Structure 1
Amino acid sequence: MVVPSDPPSLTPEFLAPDSRDPDVPLVVVDGANVVGSVPDGWWRDRAGAAERLRDRLAAVPAAGLPDVPAPVEVVLVVEGRARDIARAPGGVRVERASGSGDDKIVDLVRVSAATRRTIVVTADRGLRARVTALGAEVRGPSSVPR
């Protein structure tokens, strides 16, 4: 299977903050959990639901979250049938989990939380415990456009 790898747009609205900048918070979105928090029939088209979430998150890098001022870097973690979504302009990086999305999120937090503010968006209690133990903050699904 070929994973889409559309080149990012070079338009100014796509240019996300430098992910190595410790002053720019990292927001990691648990795609499956956030999509699952809205009972809108997402289970019939998991990839389509993940794409809609990705597109709604496009405003977050420039707008921030309610208690996290912009700019922020946004990473959407997708798994399972949603893994094949394409990248899109808007500053949201898509990370495809080859196995568990939770494990991929923990790996991202393990790397980032030591050097920059890291916020994970999920309602999953087990994942919340794992990432807070590594120094991340947690917000619920309603903290992002869904």
Structure 2
Amino acid sequence: MRWIIDAMNVIGARPDGWWKDRHAAMVALVTKLEGWAADGHRVTVVLERRPSPPIHSTLIEIAHAPAAAPNSADDEIVRLLHADSAPDAITVVTSDRVLAERVHATGARVYPASRFRDLLDGSVG
């Protein structure tokens, strides 16, 4: 199964001060996703814009919207789903209701961001 992660939705699932340093929050998410992907999960994380400085990974795919704008990451997630030959084998992590509706329309599944954050943080088995 492939997972597509709505990065800022997962980051924002917990009020842990992420807004003080958005870049550090993105790096921390990528690091946690790399640990999770090491267990065999195929992961693409979608950022709302190209990070500066860049964030790299050899274990997960890091994607971003072409230009920062309202819902730009959502549009990129839906574009990735439409570009995939088997969207029904993809789970999108988000708690954005409008994005969830768009995801379901492609045949993909949705997993709640706060529950996924708990999973990454070790709160869920």
Q: Give TM-score, length-normalised by structure 2.
A: 0.81
Quote the Cα distance in structure 1 between the aligned partners of 2:85 and 2:30.
Answer: 23
What residue ranges of structure 1 are gaps of 5+ in the alignment? 1-24, 64-70
Cα 1:73–1:79 shift into 2, 3 Å? same
Q: Give TM-score, length-normalised by structure 1.
A: 0.70
Cα 1:30–1:98 shift into 2, 3 Å? same
Cα 1:101–1:107 shift into 2, 3 Å? same
Q: Give 2:102's aligned amino acid.
A: R
* SS of aligned partner of 2:55: coil
* SS of aligned partner of 1:83: coil
Q: Give 2:9's aligned amino acid.
A: N
Residue 65 (structure 2) aligned to one of 97, 100, 104:
97
Give the drift of 1:127. 0.3
Quote the Cα distance in structure 2 between the aligned partners of 1:95 and 1:103.
Answer: 12
Which has more radius of gyration? Answer: 1
Residue 73 (structure 1) aligned to one of 34, 42, 51:
42
| Structural mapping, 1:104-123, within 5 Å | 104-112=76-84, 114=86, 117-123=89-95
* CA RMSD after TM alignment: 1.8
Q: Give 2:48's aligned amino acid.
A: E
Cα 1:34–1:113 shift into 2, 3 Å? farther
Consecutive aligned runs of 4 or more in structure 1 exceeding 4 Å deviation: none
Please state which structure has a larger fraction of its residues in helix: 2
Quote the Cα distance in structure 1 between the aligned partners of 2:51 and 2:82.
Answer: 22
- Provide the identity percentage: 34
What residue ranges of structure 2 are gaps of 5+ in the alignment? none
Give the drift of 1:62. 3.5
